Structure 1
Amino acid sequence: MFTTEIEIRTGAEPVVHDLTREIKKFLVAAEGDNGLLHIWVPHATAGLAVIETGAGSDSDLIAAIGELLPRDDRWQHRHGSHGHGRDHVLPAFLPPYASVPVVHGSPVTGTWQSVCLVDTNIDNPVRRVRFSFLAG
């Protein structure tokens, strides 16, 4: 298995960060032809989504999270910024992992699909993402 961990600076606002560039760079370094790419986010308040980006879906996702998991006082988990408890619920809806087939050195995603880091935790502007390639 070839693996590495990268750092992503997400800032102080909820964000959908497209990992396509980082994934392609990793697969070149892995010299992987065919196999499985596993992406892991080792955080209790971030997740991964496979979605279309750039056409509004990323901001729609942030808006939907805001409606489904409002940043208010309903959460029992109360440390951090106001409503931070919802950030700890997020990974139940957007898991911290994704697996993508790799064929001829490229991730096999749909035409408009991207693997994205989704981070709504405004208290932690730096995230780690681990890529692991299993040759097959």
Structure 2
Amino acid sequence: MPGHFTTTTETVTTGSAETVTDLTRLCEGFLARHAEGADGLLNLFVPHATAGIAIIETGAGSDDDLLTALHALLPADDRWQHRHGSPGHGRDHVLPALVPPHATLPVVAGRLQLGTWQSVCLVDTNKDNPERQVRLSFLG
């Protein structure tokens, strides 16, 4: 029996500050339009060398804590060999090794299966790129 596959690309504005942007509603809207009550998998992918996808609690400080941790691990200073853009931009290119540019999540009866406090987030530390593309794909 052939499966159902659909994909789209959405533009997300992250602005000129380091951000953790909640994509959960975007994902839920995509599934409401395309999953048609089916079980399957939702895949998210950001085709950028300086952004990632994280499953994390938001709104209680964890999103800010993630940015603080990334700053401690990847300081925005002149230690990086990759040097163009804002000072310390080389660290933005290391980010996807820690926060991957993709995530695959279960979908049951057309609904995203996240834990109580989990959200799907775009992590963007690159202040030089105010807009990001996010590819959402459903396979059911």
State whether TM-score is above 0.5: yes
Q: Is the 8 A contact 2:15 2:127 kept in 1?
A: yes
Cα deviations by residue, 1:84-123 (Å, 9 ceiling, x for unpaired): 0000000000000000000011111111001100000000
| Alignment match, 2:12 | 8
Q: TM-score, normalised by structure 2?
A: 0.95
Cα distance in 2 between the residues matched to 1:102 and 1:66: 33
Unmatched 5+ residue regions in structure 1? none
| Alignment match, 1:67 | 72
What is the deviation of 1:75? 0.2
Runs of 4+ in 1 over 2 A off after TM superposition: none
| Alignment match, 2:112 | 107
Cα distance in 2 between the residues matched to 1:17 and 1:128: 13
User: 3-state SS of the aligned residue for 2:81?
Assistant: coil
Unmatched 5+ residue regions in structure 2? none
The alignment's C-alpha RMSD in Å is: 0.6
| Alignment match, 1:20 | 24
Cα distance in 1 between the residues matched to 2:99 and 2:53: 6
Q: Is the 8 A contact 2:43 2:138 kept in 1?
A: yes
Cα distance in 1 between the residues matched to 2:40 and 2:31: 10
Cα deviations by residue, 1:20-41 (Å, 9 ceiling, x for unpaired): 1100110011134210000000
Q: TM-score, normalised by structure 1?
A: 0.98
What is the deviation of 1:2? 0.4
Amino acid corresponding to residue 96 of structure 2 in structure 1: P
